Structure 1
């Protein structure tokens, strides 16, 4: 293992930054490549067949370009749909991001909690299985929102967003039967922790928000334990799988995470 071999993060947008940040806290000298699949954005609007075809092929192409030591699929939708096909296709450690239902069940006092994700994520049997295994005594209320993905993208670009828009999205949980009892919400899309402050303000009452970033960071650290790293943090590198749109507005937000080198693929 060469110290310069990076950790490769894949997300269609900026949501993976909520996973990158805790990884950087645990492994501050790790070389980082953040691949943004703009041409495939948004994953939450894709079919299962589209993602099981696209994600393994794209990661195979990226591995030809980047000699990564480990891949993080920093997207809940891609993970719950395409994680197994990726692991079958690539002989490298793969870490996925899945809804934090187990910690939410441990935290909820009312035994009613929400799962807020993309529409593709919240309808997956994977979420049913997690709920049965870890939250059998809870009422689990789900809501899928592409609009919240867009709000997180706008925030990273430095645009203003309205609290009323977040309140309308949360109403998709709160207006369902027993929704008024929700005391915990799983942020089951990596975009959503980026707007946790806005969601907390819009909720209008105390809500605990749970996501998997810290657990994923611990898993990455475990899988790379004992491996060499550079003596100092190297510049992070972004690869845009381009859809032809202007990436300039994204760069200041990425630079806040130490990503200062940019290229298109």
Structure 2
């Protein structure tokens, strides 16, 4: 199937977390047209039930695909990917890339054979995470902790608000205080919001920890799925779409512009 050169890549998340996936994708495909969609009316996903997410995400992506006619959709959200990816692929007639917690790289890298998975409550309890841990980290102790507050911290950071260092400290303590936490050397950032506050997490850590996330791997996947397709000769301003516009979205405008998203629209 021929793809028009101006057909965008659609990135989807509950909020701004997917920007951690968009950033390496823009490096890999610098002239790709971009539509970044955030379900601000449904934010946050990490505290919602599986049934809510499985119903909401495919419906929203169907509306977005109808409006923007993307060549590819990227679910730039670990919670939505672990719960709704198969539902979305069944509903859409374009390729869909999901976001997978970087458990395999963590298992390969960890020297102590103890690593943490820091995500939302909804992500860390998924059987999908069980399977990844069993397949790639069978000889490791895999600690898990969910933090809704850390998601809010990332959103606040991009709005330019003052940050409470206790939020990052508490999130890490949820892993470090578990049995085996004293030997943990690596933390998987299993929510796309969390790389946006990696500096805050590193500052809160009582000792050096390695933080891993899947942004570069997803960027390579996007490039592979679109190989051979035509792209514009030069980059154009991207579009950020929100399911609800409010004052908080306006405060995000400078940060969004830094990711090449100059236009803001409502779905």
Give the shorter-chain TM-score range.
Answer: over 0.9
CA distance in 2, matches of 1:66, 1:169: 37
After superposition, where does 1:191-206 map in structure 2 within 5 Å? Answer: 191-206=193-208
CA distance in 1, matches of 2:245, 2:197: 25
**Which of 230, 247, 250 is matched with 1:248 structurally?**
250
**Which of 72, 77, 80 is matched with 1:78 structurally?**
80
Deviation for aligned residue 1:163: 2.2
CA distance in 2, matches of 1:39, 1:217: 27
Name the structure 1 match of 2:61.
59
Deviation for aligned residue 1:64: 1.1
CA distance in 1, matches of 2:51, 2:167: 31
**Which of 160, 163, 171 is matched with 1:161 structurally?**
163
CA distance in 1, matches of 2:50, 2:247: 25
SS in 2 for 1:103: helix
Name the structure 1 match of 2:235.
233
State the superposition RMSD in angstroms: 0.9
Number of residue pairs matched by the alignment = 265
**Which of 89, 92, 98 is matched with 2:91 structurally?**
89
Name the structure 1 match of 2:105.
103
After superposition, where does 1:178-197 map in structure 2 within 5 Å? Answer: 178-197=180-199
Is residue 207 of structure 1 aligned with residue 192 of structure 2? no
CA distance in 1, matches of 2:40, 2:49: 17
CA distance in 2, matches of 1:2, 1:233: 15
- Comparing 250-259 and 239-248, the one that deviates more: 239-248
CA distance in 2, matches of 1:132, 1:109: 18
TM-score scaled to structure 2, two decimals?
Answer: 0.98
Flag as ranges the 4+ runs of structure 1 deviating above 4 A. Answer: 243-246
TM-score scaled to structure 1, two decimals?
Answer: 0.98
CA distance in 1, matches of 2:245, 2:183: 42
SS in 1 for 2:235: coil
Deviation for aligned residue 1:243: 6.1
- Comparing 161-170 and 145-154, the one that deviates more: 161-170
Name the structure 2 match of 1:132.
134
CA distance in 2, matches of 1:170, 1:32: 33
- 8 Å CA contact 2:6–2:231 kept in 1: the answer is yes
Runs of 5+ in structure 2 lacking a partner?
none
Deviations 1:160-209 (A, max 9, x none): 21323211111000000010100000000000000001101100211000
**Which of 157, 171, 175 is matched with 1:173 structurally?**
175
**Which of 113, 116, 128 is matched with 1:114 structurally?**
116
CA distance in 2, matches of 1:243, 1:160: 22
SS in 2 for 1:230: coil
Deviation for aligned residue 1:245: 5.2
Deviations 1:37-92 (A, max 9, x none): 00110011110000110000110011111110000000000000000000011111
